[in-house]
């Protein structure tokens, strides 16, 4: 689908579609880690608003020892 220029951090759902990245490429776990770390520091805030951080296909991160140590 179309790319959103800005990210609304107050939206009820934020989706990062990485389906066009080769799932066997080293780029996949690295991109997932970048998105995860960025969200951890920008979206998950101490404002008492409950947020759920779901990483679908997290095995990409777990299978990469270098990237897994970031979490």
Q: What's the confidence (pLDDT) of residue 7?
A: 84
Q: What's the confidence (pLDDT) of residue 32?
A: 84
Q: Write the pLDDT tens digit of every residue in 16-69.
A: 888 888 988 888 888 888 888 888 888 877 777 777 777 777 777 777 777 777
Could you tell me the residue ranges of all domains in the chain?
15-25+49-71
Q: Write the pLDDT tens digit of every residue in 3-15.
A: 677 888 888 888 8
Q: What's the confidence (pLDDT) of residue 1?
A: 58
Q: What's the confidence (pLDDT) of residue 71?
A: 64
Alpha carbons 17 and 5: distance in angstroms, whole number = 14
Alpha carbons 35 and 32: distance in angstroms, whole number = 5
């Amino acid at each position: 689908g179309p790319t959103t220029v800005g990210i609304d951090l107050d939206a009820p759902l934020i989706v990062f579609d990485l389906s066009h990245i080769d799932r066997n490429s080293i780029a996949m776990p690295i991109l997932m880690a970048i998105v995860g770390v960025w969200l951890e520091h920008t979206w998950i805030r101490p404002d008492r608003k409950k947020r759920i951080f779901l990483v679908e296909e997290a095995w990409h991160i777990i299978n990469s020892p270098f990237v897994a140590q970031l979490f």
